[in-house]
């Protein structure tokens, strides 16, 4: 399996990259973004590209992939509304449309979030924007496409969020993780489970195309 990862420098992307590098069935991993992934591995290559809205210059390097894990994201509270739409919908749509054309046999997985609204009726800007990106991904002619909507994500292998508020929250809840996972399993997914669920879906598929936290955990443990 050859995998392409967007957002491998972020918390979720780092975790997904880790699982890909550990998986003996993954032959090669390419991280695409404005900066290189921090990991070093014989299976890993970095494709540095500054304009994530236009891939025309690097299209020959975007072929031959079996899967794309799109983990690129930003907190709605950290940027303007216009920037959020461009980063969340614009980049997702540009990447997915390019890859669907170049890799029709690809499985594309988009990391969205709990509460995303694919109907476009929500009064919450980020929910509508995420939902619009979801609809675009699910409507493209990939071999298969899925949306992950995790509620709470717990980092378990040293991953660190770029958002200060999230870092504080993770630090507070880390000692409580065993209890939280026991009593709220439907709402919490670990970064490790996210990566494992993605790889399993590429290999075996899943009955649902939109997976909530409980579905992600179920998929990872199958």
186: nearest Cα among 151, 159, 158, 157: 151
Q: What is the pLDDT of residue 154?
A: 84
For residue 85, give the CATH number of its domain. 3.40.50.720
Rounded Cα distance between 155 and 142, Å, is 30
Number of domains in the chain: 1
Q: What is the pLDDT of residue 76?
A: 86
Average per-residue pLDDT in the chain? 91
Calculate the alpha carbon distances from 7 to 17, 34, 48, 195, 207 in Å. Answer: 9, 9, 12, 13, 26
50 is in which domain, residue-wise? 2-221
The tens digit of pLDDT for each residue in 170-185 reads 566 667 666 666 666 6
Per-position b or e across 73-104, b if 16+ CB within 10 A of its CB = bbebeeeeeeebbbbbbbbbbbbbebbbebbe
Q: Which alpha helices (DSSP H) does the chain contain, by range?
A: 11-22, 81-85, 91-102, 125-139, 164-173, 177-183, 191-204, 213-221
Q: What is the pLDDT of residue 165?
A: 53
Calculate the alpha carbon distances from 139 to 18, 58, 70, 90 in Å. Answer: 29, 24, 16, 15
The tens digit of pLDDT for each residue in 38-95 reads 999 999 999 999 999 999 999 999 999 999 999 998 888 889 999 999 999 999 999 9
Phi-psi region of 65 (alpha: psi -120 to 50; beta: other; left: phi over 0): beta
pTM score of the predicted model: 0.90
Calculate the alpha carbon distances from 25 to 4, 69, 163 in Å. Answer: 14, 16, 33
Question: Tokens for 177?
Answer: 């993780």
Model confidence band, residue 215 (pLDDT cutoffs 50, 70, 90): very high
Rounded Cα distance between 1 and 29, Å, is 9
3-state DSSP helix/strand/coil % of the chain, to nearest 5: 45, 20, 35
């Amino acid at each position: 399996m050859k995998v392409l990862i967007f957002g491998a420098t972020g918390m979720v992307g780092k975790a997904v990259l880790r699982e890909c590098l550990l998986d003996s069935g993954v032959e090669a991993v390419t991280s695409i973004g404005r900066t290189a992934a921090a990991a070093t591995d014989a299976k890993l290559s970095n494709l540095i590209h500054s304009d994530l809205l236009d891939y025309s210059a690097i299209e020959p390097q975007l072929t031959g992939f079996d899967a794309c894990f799109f983990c690129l994201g930003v907190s709605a509270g950290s940027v303007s509304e216009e920037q959020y739409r461009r980063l969340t919908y614009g980049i997702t749509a540009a990447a997915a449309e390019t890859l669907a054309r170049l890799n029709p046999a690809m499985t594309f997985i988009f990391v969205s979030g709990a509460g995303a609204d694919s109907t476009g009726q929500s009064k919450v800007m980020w929910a509508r924007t995420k939902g619009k990106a979801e609809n675009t991904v699910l409507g493209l002619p990939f071999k298969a496409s899925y949306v992950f909507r995790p509620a709470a994500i717990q980092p378990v292998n040293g991953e660190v969020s770029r958002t200060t508020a999230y870092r504080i929250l993770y630090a507070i809840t880390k000692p409580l993780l065993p209890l939280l996972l026991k009593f709220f399993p439907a709402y919490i997914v670990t970064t490790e489970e996210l990566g494992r669920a993605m790889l399993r879906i590429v290999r075996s598929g899943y009955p649902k195309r939109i997976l909530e936290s409980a579905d992600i955990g179920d998929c990872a443990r199958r």
